[in-house]
Chain A
Amino acid sequence: MYLSLESTKCEKPNSMNTSRWVLLFFWSFVIVLCPSSLHSQAWGEELGARIAGMNNTSVALPDFWNLHNNPAGIACLSVPAIGINYASRFSLKELSTKSLAMVYPVQKSVLGVTVDYFGYALYHEVKAGLVYSRKLGKRLSVGTQLDYLSVAFGEGYANRHRFTFGLGVQYAVTDELRLGASVYNPVGIRYDTLQSLVIPAVFRAGLAYSFSDQLLTTAELEKSSLLGYWNVRAGVEFRPNERFAFRAGTGFYREVFSFGMGYAWKNLKFDIASTVHQQLGLTSQFSILYTFRK
């Protein structure tokens, strides 16, 4: 599913039932919500080691971690999957994001759940999201996400809770070319009037083009209300065989360079990636994705 731009050939969601994965789902959430065990972040920042390797150019791709980036990107997932992601921003433990997410296809739709924890004891943010995505016709996919966000300072010093949402769309022009766009928090919901507690509004638009079965390229424009410019990014993924994937990307601002690799083994996919910020250094991510076979 790494490369597949074969969105047009999206298979019918299977209705297999898996009590075992429902259980897994349940238990993982118990673990996640256990105080300070799993963590996360969200606010429109991209997540997922595969797309991080391509410098976060995911908006037009079908990808599991698009749960965070463009909800339309999961409409093509035909089987349930569960994944965890760990991102260490600038290699600082205090700035790490821990995420758990899953998708579950139901009839013609795909449902997703995400939980993220970002920060550490004295400052942390939690995001929990519900994603709904589906295909409209053969080529068009749409999706929406509803997020609960919270931020907490110190030991009870202050905390805020908000709800916000995101919308996304993807369109497969041909089997090789896909377009995508998404907005997050478009109405500018904020925690507080304080500047530092802003939830950014983010807009992304981009394309993905597959040169061959082994080669996928992406390009994306991004505008975030936190940053006063349009960022341009591009990424590439090579998959010399079924198992391995190598990725690289570049961007104009912020993360100017990225690289990563992936390995698929049975139902598991392991991805690792680093993005390079010129002043602040490396941000590394690691994902494990488990896909339930039919």
Chain B
Amino acid sequence: MLLLMFFVLTVRGQSADTLQPSLDNALEELARSSDAVADYSDLLEQYRYFLEHPVPVNGPELKKLLEIRVINEAQLFSIETYIRQNGPILSANELNYVQGLSNEAIARLKRFVTYSANLQKSRPLSFKNLVRYSRSQVLFRYEQVPEKSAGYLIPPDSAYLKPGSVYLGTPQKLYLRYAFQSENHMRAGVTMEKDAGEVFVGSNLGDSVPQLLNKAPGFPDFFSVYASVTDIGLLKKAVVGDYHLEFGQGLTLWSGLAFGKSSQACQVKYYGRGIRPNTSVNENLFFRGVATEFGYKSLSLTAFYSRKNYDANLEQENSTELELATSLQETGYHRTINEVNDKNALSISVYGAHLNFDYKRIRLGGTYYESRLDIPIQKNDQPYAVYYFHGNRLQNAGMDLNAGFNKFTFFSEFSYSSNGGLAGIAGVNTFFSDRFTLTLLYRNYAKNYQTLFANPFRDSGHVGNENGFYLGLEALLTKNLTLSAYADLVAFPWMRYQVSGPSTGKSFLVQLNYEGKKDLKMYVQIRFTQKQKDNTPDDVYLSQLHNERRLEFRYQLSYNLFRYFILKNRLEYVHYDFVEDRQRGFLFYQDIFYRPEQTPLSAGIRFAVFNTEGWNSRIYTYENDVLYAFSIPALYDHGYRTYLLVSWEPVTNLKFWFRAATTLFNGKTELGSGASALPGNHRSTIKAEVQWKF
């Protein structure tokens, strides 16, 4: 430890990109809510963009900061009110006079805004301007787990013996991205990725394996490209290639990721951005085709067509010999024979339109689209899944409404799926006092509501079979001290996976935040979740529902030591309880960041110790990572975790990152199971990345 500290001192480094703590928090919640590893850069690209391109605090673009959760609607309202009464905000200091902004909010906002009374207009579109103001960037990343897991130990030419647990490819993960941007008018990009275990160029698969594969694995495994233009006459936006669609509250159509419940308790409303190019490597979560948006006065019309292949597990029906898909895969891994054969097994065509009407503070939208599958999805006979989508056609339609009034905003969406399912969500953000914001939300998604591309606010993974109330508040107790809390009460009227009856759940969070002078920040968080789950003792045939409870305490502290050092500590305690299974978990970590102002080098290091009594009391921790990569490991059992992150910018526009992380478990001789099983008691990751802008 001392050695490491010494190293950090001598390196004169500083850490890489850090997020605001509330976003760390929101990402931890996302990681917790799904076991699949997602590429969260999807959510944070915009965040990074605005870090580099701050918006004028006095202009209408300030609204865009809502989308990236830098401010909430109450804070936006406070700033707008201040500007209306006192004229433009001309300096960062002036933000201190805006009622209703905590120190924390001001510190956060400062990084994203510029202060100018005169708003700059965008340059007219011409070929000359397009070229002159264009910028490109190339990003390349290498990642590898140095320890070899079981999947790599058997040579690929013997893979036919174990089609599900031998990795055909190499253990490197490679990622290449090129992006072009010319002012706001034109963007284009290419993203390529090969996951660890996937086949690289010229891999030797032997003779037997190719015969078992439906198609030869190509390189790169994942390839995504897009080109987009904005604001050319009536054409507001157009994308050719890979894109996302985000409308309303995400109940009818929302293809990308979205934040859910988090310590930002009043930020549950969605701000759909319509068409958005895809730059993420979430391989099954976007559209591929064309999307255009035309706008005339207060009306805008978006039309889109997409045809994209999805990974799925196919089976032949015995009687008719028709092919049916049993499930859609979402991991995007194509490492084993089985996974390669599932790749792009079926294609879904999606076409539809969204009409939007804006009038003052009212926004009304309608969405309709149809999804057609070339291979139908088989009906799942499990009782919990009888209402899930099956077949090969689905239409969805929805209406969304957003209305702002004096001191509150209302948002809602109602959706219909062609099998007869209905779903609705309605909420209100209120800011009657500049020190207190309250959000109320009610949703009711029928058990037979079906959708392939929706991602609304919800508690469970599946969209449908859920109703509940959400109540969130953020209060400014003093300028330094903020309180945020939420309560979410949810009911599932039909069975769910491993829940063989109607069930209920509730979750609460209370967080007290302190942000003082000299970058002293701390918070205390208490989080409680309870859900019902099947309990099937060995001697009983009928499952009974029991409450599964999880109570978490967290204390986090960060402060500046000396001049360029930032120290951060977290202490976390978890109590898990389900019938006889009672577990406790504990985590402590120490972060040290070194960020000199002048030198091009920065570094960060973490040392964490964790001790949990099992997987159920695991603890998720957000870790700083290289640009556009994410690491939010779930730590469980007993061990240590450490990582080092160094970034170096030798010349402007050229930046390198290096990261090494390892988890060491006490008293284990093997980690994981199946193909990913590792002999030994440690698992590491090495990442190196370079970004070049020109």
Residues of A within 8 A of B (CB): 211-212, 214-215, 217, 234, 236, 238, 240, 248-250, 252, 256-257, 259, 276, 278-279
Contact = CB atoms under 8 A, between A and B. Distances in A.
Contact of B435 (A211, A234, A236): A211
B545 to A, nearest CB: 11
18 contacts: A211-B435, A211-B436, A212-B435, A215-B433, A215-B436, A217-B436, A234-B485, A238-B430, A248-B471, A250-B508, A252-B508, A256-B469, A256-B489, A256-B506, A257-B489, A276-B489, A278-B489, A278-B504
A240 B487 contact: no
B506 A212 contact: no
B26 to A, nearest CB: 21
Interface string B482-497: 0001010101000000
A278 B489 CA distance: 8
Interface string B400-431: 00000011000000000000000000000010
Interface in B421-479: 430, 432-436, 438, 440, 469, 471, 473, 475
Contacts of A256: 469, 487, 489, 506
Nearest to B502: A279
Contacts of B434: 212
A240 B504 contact: no
The 7 A-B pairs at the shortest CB distance, nearest first, are namely A250-B487, A212-B433, A215-B433, A211-B433, A211-B436, A278-B504, A257-B469
A284 to B, nearest CB: 15
Nearest to A212: B433
Contact of A278 (B406, B475, B506): B506
B489 A248 contact: no
Nearest to B504: A278
Given A217-B475, A248-B440, A259-B440, A276 B469 contact: yes
A245 to B, nearest CB: 11
A43 to B, nearest CB: 26
Greatest chain A CB density within 10 A among B406, B407, B432, B508 is at B432
B666 to A, nearest CB: 36
B551 to A, nearest CB: 12
A236 B473 contact: yes
A279 B487 CA distance: 17
B471 A257 contact: yes
Given A236-B473, A248-B440, A250-B471, A214 B487 contact: no
Given A211-B436, A212-B432, A256-B469, 5 more contacts: A211-B433, A238-B438, A240-B407, A252-B508, A278-B489
A257 B489 CA distance: 8
Contacts of B485: 234
Contacts of A234: 485
B432 A257 contact: no
Contacts of B491: 278
Contacts of A252: 508
A contact face: mostly helix, strand, loop, or mixed: strand
Contacts of A276: 469, 489
Contacts of B407: 240
A246 to B, nearest CB: 8
A257 B487 contact: yes
Contacts of B487: 250, 256-257
B669 to A, nearest CB: 43
A256 B489 CA distance: 7
Interface string B342-357: 0000000000000000
Contacts of B506: 256, 278
A244 to B, nearest CB: 11
Nearest to B487: A250
Nearest to B508: A252
B238 to A, nearest CB: 43
Contacts of A250: 471, 487, 489, 508
Contact of A214 (B433, B440, B469): B433
B475 to A, nearest CB: 7
Contacts of B433: 211-212, 214-215
B469 A279 contact: no
Contacts of A278: 489, 491, 504, 506
Nearest to A253: B506
B475 A211 contact: yes
A163 to B, nearest CB: 38
Contacts of A248: 438, 440, 471
Contacts of A238: 430, 432, 438
Contacts of A236: 436, 438, 473
Nearest to B485: A234
Interface string B369-384: 0000000000000000
A215 B504 contact: no
Nearest to A251: B487
B504 A279 contact: yes
Nearest to A256: B489
A253 to B, nearest CB: 9
A211 B407 CA distance: 15
A257 B505 CA distance: 13
Interface string B78-117: 0000000000000000000000000000000000000000
Contacts of B436: 211-212, 215, 217, 236
Contacts of B475: 211, 217
Interface string B324-365: 000000000000000000000000000000000000000000
Nearest to A215: B433
A236 B428 CA distance: 14
A236 B485 CA distance: 13
Contact of B432 (A215, A249, A259, A279): A215
B101 to A, nearest CB: 15
Greatest chain A CB density within 10 A among B434, B475, B487, B491 is at B487
A234 to B, nearest CB: 8
Interface in B186-233: none
